[in-house]
Chain A
Amino acid sequence: MILPGNYKINTVSIISTEGRKQIDLTAIYTQLNIFESIMTNCITGYLTVTDTYNLISGKNYALPIMGNEIIYIEAELPAYYIMNEKDEWVMGAPNVITYYGRVFDIKNLTLINEGAQNYEIHFCSEEMILSENLKISQSYKDKPFSDILTSIFNDNFKNTISSYEFERTLNNHTVVMPNWNPLKAINWLASRSVSAAHKTTPFFFYQSLYNDGSIVDRQNNFGNHTNTSSSKYWFLSLDEMIAMWDGDVRKTIFYAPANNNSTYKSTDPESYMRFSNALNYEVTHSFDTLANTSSGMYASRMVTHDITTKSYKETNYTYEAEFQKYKYHVDNAGFFTGVKNSQGKTFSSPDYCDTHTMMTSSGTYETPNYLDTISYSRINRLQSLNTYRLNLLVPGDGLTEPGDLIEFKMRSLEVGDNGKTYDEFYNGKYLVNSIRHMFTRKEYKMTLDCSKESLNKEVRGYTASA
C-alpha cells in the first residue's frame, strides 16, 4: 500500500534514439514533473538531474543527449481507497503508470562543481513531436468530425502506445485539412465539434497519464523495446466530462488547517485524510466582470452570413438564457451577472449583445459549418470555465485525472455551530483542468488547476440597493 503523497519509482531511464542504450536515472534525478491538462494535447514534463557522468556529452557512456531520446518512467502511485469491513477508508493496490516521452530540450544547466552539473531534461509525448513532423493535406468528405479526428489520429499516430476514447460528434462535414500538423488539425476539429449525445460544445482533446487502469498492449517503434503505456487520449465534450460522473465526484477535498481537526472523524484512517486533504489552495482567478464582458460571456451577438445566398443572420445571446440550455453544469447555479448599472441594466442585458459581436461565414452553400450555433456557445462556456479558477496543492495520487470532477470544501471565514462553515457560492464541485505531478525524492504532490463553471448556489436577493 502506498499512501497519497508517497510513490515508488520503478524506473526512470533514458534510452538512446536507436534504443540500444538505456541509462537508469533513478539514482540521479532530483525532481520529476509531469503535466497533463484538458487544455493541452499531450503530456509534458521535465526531469531535474544531478549528473556526474556527463550524459549530455556522452563521452563516458556514449549517450549524448541531443534530443529525441526516450524517457521511460514507470512508477507505482497511490491509486484508490476502499472502505473496509470496519467502515474505514483504506488504500488499495497502487496504480502502475508507465510513460514514454521524447526528449526535446535540455534547460537550466548549471555546474555544481568540477564533477557535477544540474540540468533539466524536458520531454513530451511522442505524438507531440511527431505532430510537428507530419502534415495533413487531405480531404474528408461528409463525415462527423469525430470520424475525421479518428482517421487523423490513426493515420498519423499509428504507432502510439496510448489508448484513446473519442466522443461522437454531431453533423457531417466536408473539410480539407490545409497542410496542418495532426494536433493542429485535431484542435481545429475540436473547436467546431458538437456532441452528438449532448448537442453542446466545447470539446477537448487531451492526454491523461492514467487511463483508469486499462493498460494498452501496443507496440511502438521505440528502438527494439516493446512498450506499453498507461496514458490515454481523450476527445470529450464538457458535458460528457460532467455527465459521466452522474452526480458523483472523483473525490472530496478538504482544506483543514492544523488548528482545526473537525474536518475528519477521529476514526478516519490516515490514508483517507491524506487522500482528501488539500495542503494549500489559492484562488487564482475570480469573477473578472471586465474580462467576461469584453469576451462576450454575458451577452454577445453572432452575425453569420452566407456568401452564396447573400444572406446574413443575427443571433443575440445572453448568459442566463444560454445557461438554461445546458443540462450539465459543474455545479448548480449560473454566475451572477451583476447589479444594475447606471443605465439600469445588468451585464447580461440583451441591450448589450453588441458588446461582443462575432461575425463569420456560415460556410459554403454545399458545406455549412454550423458556426452560427457553435461559436457563441463555445466562447461562453470556455470563458465560464475561466471565470473562477482554483489551485489546489494536494498529496499525489495516481487516480485523479484532468477532466475529473472533484468537490472542494472551501471554508468560509464564519464559524458555524459545529465549528465549520463553507463558502456559500464557491464551495462545491470543480472541474480539474490540469494536473502538475511533482515527484521529489521525498514525496509526491499534485497541483490541481480547477475551475468552476457555475456556482454552488444561486445568488438571490442581490439588488442594487442591497
Chain B
Amino acid sequence: MLKSTNQFMGFDGFVWFQGVVESRADPLFLGRLKVRILGIHTEDKGLIPTADLPWAYPVMPITSASMNGIGQTPVGAVEGTWVVGFFRDGENCQDPMILGTIGGYPQKTANKQEGFNDPYGTYPLSDYLKEPDTNRLARNQKLSETIVQKKKDAQISGDIPIALAAYRNSGDNTSWTEPDPAYAAVYPFNQVMQTQSGHIKEYDDTKGHTRIAEYHQLGTFYEVYEEDGKANKLTKINGNNYTIVVDDDNLYVQGSINITTDARCNIYAANDLNIEAQSNCNIRTWKDTTIDTSGSITISAIGDITIQAGGNLNINASNITATAAQNMFLHSVSGTAVSSIAGLSMISQTYVAVSSNTGTVVSSSGPVTVTSNNITTVSGPTLLLTSTLYTSVASDALIKVGSKGLVDITSSTGLVNITSPIQINMLSPKVFRPVKLTFDITPVV
C-alpha cells in the first residue's frame, strides 16, 4: 500500500478501452456519453445501471475549436454505438475520454435489458442487420432503400416548358426536364455523412461521376455532379424557398435562364427595376397585361414603336402631347373624331390643311377662331360661315369679299351696316334699292 501511483497524469500509462454508448443525454450539453466499457463494466445493469456509468468526454479533432460553439458540435453517436477511448486517469478508470467510434457488421437487434446495448432497443435498426455499418450510399448497395430511389420517385415527370416556347424557332429549346439522379458511386470513393433522421452529405470521388450532394430527409437537396467534363448542379426544394440577401445579389449566367412556374411569378423592387436586353425583349401574356406606374412611363425606341390592339386603343391622360420629328398621321378606317371639352387648337408653323372628301365640320359651342399670320384661305364649292349669334369678319388691313356669282349680304332680322369713316364705294351698273338708304349714296358714274 505504500506504493503510490504515479501522480502525474499522462505519465501513468495509457489505458485505452472499447465500449458501447448507452446514453447521450448529457445535462451539461458537452457531448458526453455514458459508455459501458468492455472488460471494465459488467453487462449487469443491476450492478451498474446506465445512469451510474461515468460521463465520457468526447475528444474533438484539431479542426474544431471546442470553444464558445466554435468548431464541430460533439454529437453524433447514438445509443448502441461502439466507441474507443482512454482513461484520463489511467488505471484508476474513472475518467473516460472518447476518441472515436467503430463501425461493424451487426447481427442482431439490441437487448435493452442488458448492458452493452441500446437501452431503448432502437439501434442497430432491424432493417440494417447483417450488413456493414458503412452507409449504403458509400458502398452502392440496397439503393432502392436509399435517397437515390427517393429522388427517382420524386422526379418531375414530363417536360418543363420555358417562356415563349411557341415563338421559338425549330431547333431551339422549348422545355427542359429534371435530370436523373447522378449517383454512380464506387466503394470506397464516396464519403457519406448521414444523421439520425436521414439528412445526408456526400462527397463522391468516384472517377467520372464525382459529386457533392446534400440531402434533407424530407426530399430537399442539391447535387453537384460531373457530366461531360462539367459540374452541373441540381437543386430541388420540396417546400418553399427563401433567399434573402442583405446587400447586393449578383447573378451572372453565360447561357440562358429559364424560369418556369406553375403559379404566379412576382418581381418587386423597392427601388428601380431595370431590365436590359442586348437583343430582343419579348413579353408574352396569355391574358391581360397591365403596366401601372405611380410616376411617368417613357417608351422610347431608336426605331419604330408599334402599338397594336385587337380591340380599342384607349389613351387617357391629363394632357396628351404627340410630337413627331417629321410627319404625324392619324388614320382611321371609319371616322376620326377630335373633340375637346375646352379649346381645340391646330397650329402649324407652315399651314394647316383640313381636307375631306365628303365634308369638314368645324363646330364649337364657343368661338371658333381661325388665325393666320399670312393669308387665311377658306375655300370650297360652298363656303358657309354660320353663326347662331353673330359672325364677325375683321381685318387690320383689307377684307375682300368677292364672288364670281352672287354676293348676298342679308340680315333676316335686323340691320345690315356697312360703315366706313372715310368712304363706301359701291360700283355696279345697276343698283337695286328697295329701301331708303339713310345716308347719301353717290353713284359712281
Question: Known interface pairs A137-B48, A139-B53. Does A191 touch B5 (Cβ–Cβ under 8 Å)?
Answer: yes
Q: Given the complex of chains A and B, what is the CA–CA distance between A139 and B94 in angstroms?
A: 11
Q: In the complex, what residues of B have CB within 8 A of residue A40's CB?
A: 1
The residue in chain B whose Cβ has the minimal distance to the Cβ of A295 is B4
Question: Known interface pairs A40-B1, A176-B53, A191-B4. Does A359 touch B47 (Cβ–Cβ under 8 Å)?
Answer: no
The residue in chain A whose Cβ has the minimal distance to the Cβ of B38 is A179
For the complex formed, measure the closest distance between the CB of B71 and the CB atoms of chain A, giving whole angstroms.
14
Whether the Cβ atoms of A358 and B41 lie closer than 8 Å is no
Q: In the complex, what residues of A have CB within 8 A of residue B49's CB?
A: 139
Residue A175 at the B interface, CB < 8 A?
yes
For the complex formed, measure the closest distance between the CB of A149 and the CB atoms of chain B, giving whole angstroms.
13
Whether the Cβ atoms of A308 and B28 lie closer than 8 Å is yes
Whether the Cβ atoms of A178 and B88 lie closer than 8 Å is no
Q: In the complex, what residues of A have CB within 8 A of residue B41's CB?
A: 137, 176, 178-179
Q: In the complex, what residues of B have CB within 8 A of residue A283's CB?
A: none
For the complex formed, measure the closest distance between the CB of A249 and the CB atoms of chain B, giving whole angstroms.
23
Contact check: which of B1, B42, B92 meets A38 at CB < 8 Å? B1
Q: Given the complex of chains A and B, what is the CA–CA distance between A118 and B374 in angstroms?
A: 163
For the complex formed, measure the closest distance between the CB of B167 and the CB atoms of chain A, giving whole angstroms.
68
The residue in chain A whose Cβ has the minimal distance to the Cβ of B11 is A359
Within A194-246, the residues touching B (CB, 8 Å) are 202, 204-206
Q: Given the complex of chains A and B, what is the CA–CA distance between A230 and B40 in angstroms?
A: 36
Q: In the complex, what residues of B have CB within 8 A of residue A324's CB?
A: none
* SS of A interface (majority): mixed
Contact check: which of A137, A191, A360, A365 meets B9 at CB < 8 Å? A360
Whether the Cβ atoms of A176 and B10 lie closer than 8 Å is no
Residue A412 at the B interface, CB < 8 A?
no
Q: In the complex, what residues of B have CB within 8 A of residue A308's CB?
A: 28, 30
The residue in chain A whose Cβ has the minimal distance to the Cβ of B94 is A175
Per-position contact with B for A129-143: 1 when CB-CB < 8 Å, else 0?
000000001110100
Q: Please tell me which stretch of A47-55, A87-95, A374-382 contacts chain B, meaning at least 4 of its Cβ atoms lie within 8 angstroms of it.
A: A374-382
Residue B39 at the A interface, CB < 8 A?
yes
Size of the B side of the interface (Cβ < 8 Å), in residues, is 30
The residue in chain A whose Cβ has the minimal distance to the Cβ of B1 is A39
Whether the Cβ atoms of B42 and A138 lie closer than 8 Å is yes
Q: Given the complex of chains A and B, what is the CA–CA distance between A158 and B40 in angstroms?
A: 23
Q: In the complex, what residues of B have CB within 8 A of residue A360's CB?
A: 7-9, 89
Residue A190 at the B interface, CB < 8 A?
yes
Question: Known interface pairs A139-B48, A139-B53, A364-B95. Does A204 touch B39 (Cβ–Cβ under 8 Å)?
Answer: no
Question: Known interface pairs A137-B47, A139-B49, A361-B9. Does A176 touch B28 (Cβ–Cβ under 8 Å)?
Answer: no
Q: Given the complex of chains A and B, what is the CA–CA distance between A206 and B55 in angstroms?
A: 33
For the complex formed, measure the closest distance between the CB of A100 and the CB atoms of chain B, giving whole angstroms.
23
The residue in chain B whose Cβ has the minimal distance to the Cβ of A304 is B9
For the complex formed, measure the closest distance between the CB of B209 and the CB atoms of chain A, giving whole angstroms.
45
Whether the Cβ atoms of A369 and B94 lie closer than 8 Å is yes
Residue B57 at the A interface, CB < 8 A?
yes
For the complex formed, measure the closest distance between the CB of B113 and the CB atoms of chain A, giving whole angstroms.
17
Residue B106 at the A interface, CB < 8 A?
no
Q: In the complex, what residues of A have CB within 8 A of residue B94's CB?
A: 175-176, 178, 363-364, 367, 369
Contact check: which of B1, B8, B39, B48 meets A176 at CB < 8 Å? B48
Question: Known interface pairs A188-B92, A358-B8, A365-B28. Does A386 touch B52 (Cβ–Cβ under 8 Å)?
Answer: no
**Contact size range, A:** 35 or more
Question: Known interface pairs A358-B7, A379-B7. Does A137 touch B42 (Cβ–Cβ under 8 Å)?
Answer: yes
Residue B147 at the A interface, CB < 8 A?
no
The residue in chain A whose Cβ has the minimal distance to the Cβ of B57 is A307
Residue B110 at the A interface, CB < 8 A?
no
Q: Quick one: which of A41, A187, A308, A379 has the most chain B CB within 10 A?
A: A308
Q: Given the complex of chains A and B, what is the CA–CA distance between A179 and B48 in angstroms?
A: 11
Q: Given the complex of chains A and B, what is the CA–CA distance between A379 and B7 in angstroms?
A: 9
For the complex formed, measure the closest distance between the CB of A123 and the CB atoms of chain B, giving whole angstroms.
21
Residue A357 at the B interface, CB < 8 A?
yes
Q: Given the complex of chains A and B, what is the CA–CA distance between A138 and B49 in angstroms?
A: 9
Residue B119 at the A interface, CB < 8 A?
no
Question: Known interface pairs A178-B37, A307-B88. Does A205 touch B8 (Cβ–Cβ under 8 Å)?
Answer: no
The residue in chain B whose Cβ has the minimal distance to the Cβ of A371 is B7
Residue B265 at the A interface, CB < 8 A?
no
Q: Given the complex of chains A and B, what is the CA–CA distance between A191 and B6 in angstroms?
A: 12
Residue A174 at the B interface, CB < 8 A?
yes
Residue A366 at the B interface, CB < 8 A?
yes
Whether the Cβ atoms of B89 and A176 lie closer than 8 Å is no
Within A31-78, the residues touching B (CB, 8 Å) are 38-41
Whether the Cβ atoms of B52 and A139 lie closer than 8 Å is yes
The residue in chain A whose Cβ has the minimal distance to the Cβ of B7 is A358
For the complex formed, measure the closest distance between the CB of A42 and the CB atoms of chain B, giving whole angstroms.
12
Q: In the complex, what residues of A have CB within 8 A of residue B95's CB?
A: 307, 361, 363-364
Whether the Cβ atoms of B4 and A382 lie closer than 8 Å is yes
Q: In the complex, what residues of B have CB within 8 A of residue A364's CB?
A: 54-55, 94-95
Q: Given the complex of chains A and B, what is the CA–CA distance between A365 and B57 in angstroms?
A: 11
The residue in chain A whose Cβ has the minimal distance to the Cβ of B37 is A178
Q: In the complex, what residues of A have CB within 8 A of residue B53's CB?
A: 139, 176
The residue in chain B whose Cβ has the minimal distance to the Cβ of A307 is B57
Q: In the complex, what residues of B have CB within 8 A of residue A139's CB?
A: 47-49, 52-53
Residue B212 at the A interface, CB < 8 A?
no
Residue B93 at the A interface, CB < 8 A?
yes
Q: Given the complex of chains A and B, what is the CA–CA distance between A38 and B37 in angstroms?
A: 33
Q: In the complex, what residues of A have CB within 8 A of residue B42's CB?
A: 137-138, 179
Q: Given the complex of chains A and B, what is the CA–CA distance between A382 and B1 in angstroms?
A: 9
Q: Given the complex of chains A and B, what is the CA–CA distance between A365 and B4 in angstroms?
A: 25
The 10 closest A-B pairs by CB, nearest first: A139-B52, A178-B93, A358-B7, A137-B42, A178-B40, A138-B47, A139-B48, A359-B8, A360-B9, A359-B9
Provide a sorted-by-A list of 6 A–B residue pairs whose CB atoms are within 8 angstroms: A138-B42, A176-B52, A359-B7, A360-B89, A364-B94, A378-B4
Extra contacts, 16 of them, besides A178-B37, A360-B7 (Cβ < 8 A), are: A40-B1, A137-B44, A137-B48, A176-B41, A176-B94, A178-B94, A190-B1, A191-B4, A202-B1, A307-B57, A307-B95, A357-B8, A359-B8, A359-B10, A361-B9, A364-B54
